[in-house]
Amino acid sequence: MTTEAYQPDITLDFRSLRCPNLLIAVIQEIEQAQPGQILRIETADLNAPSGIGPWTRQSGHILLEMYEDGEDFIFLIQCEAGAVEYQLTRTDRRVNSI
């Protein structure tokens, strides 16, 4: 366990969620947060680092810390004003057969 250098404003226990539902829940919560607020996300999903990390870069929010605490992953994300709105869309891809 590490000592966090940042004081979270909101702590979210998402240990029961798995991607993609985990990422959807994070997006919904960060949309409600005020600019500058820090969210602490707790999850047990082994795929979380490969989903949440890239999403913060793409969305314009700041991933302050990411570390393991026992079997959990902890993410500290700072909500940024003017961050890109990340749309959850479903693309319909069709494969043409030959």
pLDDT for res 2: 53
Edge to edge, what strands does the sheet with 10-13 contain?
A: 10-13, 38-43, 72-78, 62-69
pTM for the model stands at 0.78
Confidence of residue 19 (pLDDT cuts 50, 70, 90): confident
pLDDT for res 94: 47
36 Ramachandran zone, left/alpha/beta (phi>0; psi -120 to 50): left
List the one residue out of 6, 47, 55, 46 whose CA is nearest residue 26.
55
Cβ atoms of 44 and 73 closer than 8 Å:
yes
Peptide bond into 20 cis (omega under 30): yes
pLDDT for res 82: 64
Domains assigned to the chain: 10-78 (3.30.110.40)
pLDDT in tens, 34-88: 999 999 999 999 999 999 999 998 999 999 999 999 999 999 999 987 665 544 4
pLDDT in tens, 26-35: 999 998 999 9
